Homo-oligomer: A and B are copies of this chain.
Amino acid sequence: MGKAITHVGYIGLGIMGKPMAGHLLASGLQLSVWNRTRSKAAELDSAGALVLDSPAAMAAHGPEVIFLNVTDTPDVEAVLFGEQGIAGTARPGLIVVDHSTISPEATRRFAERLSASGVTLLDAPVSGGDVGARAATLSIMVGGPAEAFARVKPLLEIVGRSITHLGPVGAGQTCKACNQAAIASALLGVCEAMALARREGLDLEKMIGVLGAGAAGSWQLNNLGPRIAGGDHAPGFMIDLMLKDLAIVADTARQRKLPLNGVSLAESYFRAVAASDPAGGRLGTQAMAKTVERLGGFTFADESGVA
């Protein structure tokens, strides 16, 4: 397993990365950080992290592990292989742990390219949202070589509660894609069931209670159903990010020649929310209900709307 890791780097200090990097620093590790917008590193700087000028500078500085937490596939590619990227200065033996949610297929290509420099890539997308990032209760889905996984697992346990090694590189991203696919259709089912209930004049709170206890029960119903009933569309998880993730699902399915009609339908409902309002994409995923409302000519919030 090698000696314990003492020095890590963190790239991407957004709503997820900043609290996760903070947990690593608080655990006693030496921490280097880089963020495209440097001001977001100020808090960690004050807490004792070293703020570097580029991913290349970070890799040259010699951390044993570098964590990435950026948005999409091109962002990961730029951080790894751009002009000031990690690959140019990385020493053999470096492990890169990518917490971003990106394409499984691109992940496999990136791992192949990094292996030429003796760098190992683990894909490690998370679920649990910003709440889970702050509370260090994330689920982490890991793909990559078992030895590298074993080496970084103690670090992952600092930021997550459930750490699963799913298989070779890309397997973590595939699992995350499956997660988002299952969520999208389950949420559409919740929205439509609630629409039927609402148009028939049913008490939505009672209905959620009954359905949640049985074969229709789901995290989506129990957690987002009450928000839909109350017209509360604050994020949780933003529609723009779900659309990014569902594009990964769609690309992966297309490469596999796999029709996923349910996911496609659900994606179109999210897209309609994002299209109907300049701020629509920044609403929570439960705002999918707005598409169901518009198609049905009613709103959940309007209690007098029963025909």
Interface residues of A (CB under 8 A from B): 104, 127-128, 139, 141, 162, 164, 166-167, 170-171, 174-175, 177-186, 188-197, 199-203, 206-207, 209-211, 213-221, 223, 237, 249, 252-253, 256-263, 265-266, 295-297, 307
Q: How many copies does the complex hold?
A: 2
Return 22 A-B CB contacts under 8 Å, by A number. A104-B200, A127-B214, A139-B213, A139-B214, A164-B209, A167-B203, A171-B201, A184-B189, A185-B189, A185-B190, A185-B262, A186-B216, A195-B260, A196-B249, A196-B252, A196-B253, A199-B256, A199-B258, A200-B252, A215-B219, A215-B223, A261-B295
Rank and list the top 10 A-B pairs by shortest CB-CB distance, nearest first: A185-B189, A218-B218, A182-B193, A182-B216, A178-B193, A188-B262, A199-B256, A174-B200, A181-B193, A186-B186
Q: How far is the CA of A218 from the CA of B181 in the complex (A)?
A: 13
Given contacts A192-B263, A203-B167, A257-B297, contact A215 B220 (CB under 8 A): yes
Q: Which residues of B contact A200 (CB under 8 A)?
A: 104, 170-171, 174, 252, 256
Q: Which residues of B contact A257 (CB under 8 A)?
A: 296-297, 307
Q: Which residues of B contact A180 (CB under 8 A)?
A: 216
